[in-house]
Amino acid sequence: MQTRALPGFRDFYPDDLVLRSHIFRTWREVAARYGFEEYDGPPLEPLELYTGKSGAEIVGQLYCFSDKGGREVALRPEMTPTLARMVAARANGLRKPIRWFSIPQLFRYERQQRGRLREHFQLNCDLIGEAGPLADAEIIALAIDVMRAFGLGAGDVRVRLSDRRVLTALLQGGGVAADQLGDAFQAIDRSERTPREALAAQLAAAGLGAAAVDEVFRVSSLRGWPAVQQALAESGAPAGASEPLARTITALEAMGLGEFIEVDLTIVRGLAYYTGTVFELFDAGRSLRAICGGGRYDTLLAGLGGVDLPALGFGMGDVVLGELLRERGLVPPAIGAIDVFVAGITADDEPHVLSVAHELRNAGFRCEFAFGGQALGRQLKLADARSAGQVVVIGPEERARGEVILKDLRKQAQRAIPRAAVVREVAAAAAHG
């Protein structure tokens, strides 16, 4: 029998789910602060949703097959095409700008490595119907504020920010032809993982001359806003190419988030549909892979649904983020499994145990009792193992007096209380605990 999950897939035992729930809760809480509404779509989609627009890398990683009706289908590797399809289908009826978020589980047949699995959960936040740079700042601020809500500051995480419009202006100014831009972007995207000679050979094969190849590497090594501005001035790039990026940076500074931002033209993003701002969020020490990536994709909705709406957003995975939170000791402690345990002393107490336990559950307490007639000592151990703060003990003598015993396990104290007052007394003790 196969006793393990498939490679790259995770079992979430309850202890593991503490971190996942913390991540989801925080994602939802911060997205709500920005007025984002939650949506979802199907995990299985038509294959062609990805083959047209997502780009070769992700298409090579698809889990795809023919279903029993002969349809070519794929498990979703990313959410953006689903979102674009959903919005395009109802574009006229939706109030703009659309602020939507989702937490899909995604599937990619990748080579498994640290921070990369074959399934992951990804917060997607997207803003649709706004072309101006304040929307870019808003989306980047949201990603940063998610980090801050986890307790991570500018010393822990950084946004590497770039803009394909700026890259295009610089590369074209340096002799890269319009039809070679795709190859140049791909080389820049791989420049931190692939040796320069291999990339240079690919660029040469794509028809770039030696000077243009050098220009690709020079542009991709530009760091910091002043250096980029100077390069733009020297290249004679059209005025305006850098204006959206400049305004995005200014807006983020006005929000007090400037210290998180590093302009870095190595960031271009692997997905094919980005048209403007692109960014990735990394741990400041850069020992982990990207926590989050996103950008502007102003032509995807027109391409998929025939609706011309500008759009941008990001995807933030749970895997690298989870590693970082564990590394920094930012995982919340598991809360006790239950609030109160109900124990009986004799077999005759059983119906009373059931009745009290049910009253407590009706009142909203997390409550358990033992299934077999176990000795009181064993029941108390069970209560302790379940982190119950309180135990209600029911025995024949107390019953005869119309009472039960309420034990406070944290204070190691106990007292008799009226049977009729159990819910009230447990609530009062919980409030003081």
> Which residues are near ligand HAM by CB under 6 A?
78-80, 108, 110, 116-117, 120, 122, 124, 126, 271, 290-294, 313-315, 317, 319-320
Hey, CA dihedral for 109, 279, 262, 238, is it positive or negative? Answer: positive
**Two tokens at 433?**
């605990």
Q: Which is nearer to ligand HAM, 20 or 116 (CB)?
A: 116
HEC letters along 146-165: HHHHCCCCCCCEEEEEEEHH
Q: Which is nearer to ligand HAM, 104 or 395 (CB)?
A: 104
CB of residue 367 to ligand HAM, shortest distance in Å: 38
CB of residue 165 to ligand HAM, shortest distance in Å: 16
Long-range contacts, stretch 289-295, CB < 8 angstroms, 24+ apart: 289/114, 289/115, 289/116, 289/320, 290/320, 291/147, 291/157, 291/316, 291/317, 291/320, 291/321, 291/324, 292/143, 292/316, 292/317, 292/321, 293/269, 294/139, 294/143, 295/164, 295/269
**Two tokens at 244?**
């959206």
Q: Which is nearer to ligand HAM, 91 or 128 (CB)?
A: 128
Q: Which is nearer to ligand HAM, 46 or 175 (CB)?
A: 46
CB of residue 348 to ligand HAM, shortest distance in Å: 56
Other C-beta atoms closer than 10 Å to the C-beta of 417 total 19
Q: Which is nearer to ligand HAM, 91 or 367 (CB)?
A: 91
Residue 14 parent element (H or E): helix 14-33
CB of residue 126 to ligand HAM, shortest distance in Å: 5
Distance from C-alpha of 186 to C-alpha of 341, rounded to nearest angstrom: 60
CB of residue 50 to ligand HAM, shortest distance in Å: 11
Tell which residue, 185, 101, 107, 210, has the closest CA to residue 146. Answer: 101
Amino acid present at 375: A
CB of residue 313 to ligand HAM, shortest distance in Å: 3
CB of residue 248 to ligand HAM, shortest distance in Å: 15
- Interhelix angle 196-205/210-220, rounded to 10 degrees, is 130
Distance from C-alpha of 347 to C-alpha of 22, rounded to nearest angstrom: 41
Q: Which is nearer to ligand HAM, 97 or 294 (CB)?
A: 294
Residue 107 parent element (H or E): strand 105-107
Which residue number is nearest to ligand HAM in terms of Cβ? Answer: 317
CB of residue 8 to ligand HAM, shortest distance in Å: 8
Q: Which is nearer to ligand HAM, 140 or 406 (CB)?
A: 140
Distance from C-alpha of 35 to C-alpha of 275, rounded to nearest angstrom: 25
Where does 219-268 show beta strands of DSSP type E?
261-263
Q: Which is nearer to ligand HAM, 9 or 65 (CB)?
A: 9
Bridge partners (DSSP) of residue 392 are 342, 406
**Two tokens at 264?**
């870095």
Q: Which is nearer to ligand HAM, 280 or 339 (CB)?
A: 280
CB of residue 119 to ligand HAM, shortest distance in Å: 8
